[in-house]
Structure 1
């Protein structure tokens, strides 16, 4: 009896090893073919917003963009993840008046999580052009500080958008060394992988976390039972409405080592009605991204 069980276990393990060996080898080959990159970024942003819960005025102004990113790419797919911070100093846009002050300033802080997954469409790709489709998830938390609003100085909202994404890439790689000369400056341009891409994101499911009416801090205080977060966000609730659109125009240069850089123009706009009052925001940013090859050798 025991010998029979022992023989069955031995034969089963041998068959399992023989069946799994090609699968494991194929997985190792697949992992070896994946490009992995660390992509920190820095840049300038022009932000604008309007929140009818506090003021009908438009606020616009310049600011700074900082970001950390990771990128993975296989033969048929790509996945990009970013954690971004945009800090802008905005001014209200209102007609001049001789009777009362109309110009006010506000600090706009936007923290964002961005994740995009795309797959290559072979039937649409031709020559040096590659088409990809997939989805993008964007989550924002905004903080606005405007002392001129007095007891509504602080403004907070969150956005969560699941978006349909499409991307087209043009391969413009330099395959041979090229001599470059301008007056007394001469330089040899080595071969490099270069591509120009454009991605468009359109919101499918648009969630927003907005206040019930305004940001006036008049929540109930009940001794030790009242928590700080509940006091600030007591009137906030989630809604499924509005829209969001975004686009990215990128130019990438990658050297034979796998390291490189990328220049991007990123546009984003959102409209969030919430339960009562609308919130609108838009941003234009120019970013420089450092591409660090982190693939296993």
Structure 2
């Protein structure tokens, strides 16, 4: 588990939160329940295998800055959930296979990821994880489809808004909503009720300090591989929504969490569950 997550001891309920670290060898964990709603945190992971660590030119803080720490925490109230534990710098599950290993700076926000060019065997081992993930995802969602017919996947991420430095001006609010909803890969008209009701539920949540700015396809458009894959393989039954939280719930340059905001965001997401279930029924 990421170093900041180990230090976080927050509690959305009366009992202390247990944030036990995952095993170093874990690729991902999945939980299956009786619900048509699935949540994923595929960029939460920070772990890399030894062969990648030896060749990586980035330190842990540099990697963490581009990962999505605490997104696993945000989806814990979903009985169907998948959490990837490997860093996107080992393999980016949300990129097409051909670009899932960052080999050039332009693939990784201008960062020189490698101290030396990784051997093909190292790249192939990472790509095999990408292959296995999508085999697992297809099977997992087919099971949801068999039980419930239609389903929703919330593809949860986070994004930086102070790229110029810790004390630099944040990205303009006009370009950086608190929550960006990405829908470009879906049939938007077909899933209008689901998406619109989900966004309305987020906006109406009584968030500490005031309602959040929730907009669609502003900072991101939902062009990631996971949502594309779901809409390709489940065109009539699967609605995949990319949910990008601006990193106002943490200090993006140090990884320090802001527990009150994280707990509130988790409660907000949990509150959308019954809304999504009802919206799915209305789509039939």
Task: Report which of the two has the higher share of strand.
Answer: 1
Bigger relative contact order, structure 1 or 2 (CA pairs below 8 A, ≥6 apart): 2
Give your verdict on TM over 0.5: no
Q: TM-score, normalised by structure 1?
A: 0.25
Task: Report which of the two has the higher share of helix.
Answer: 2
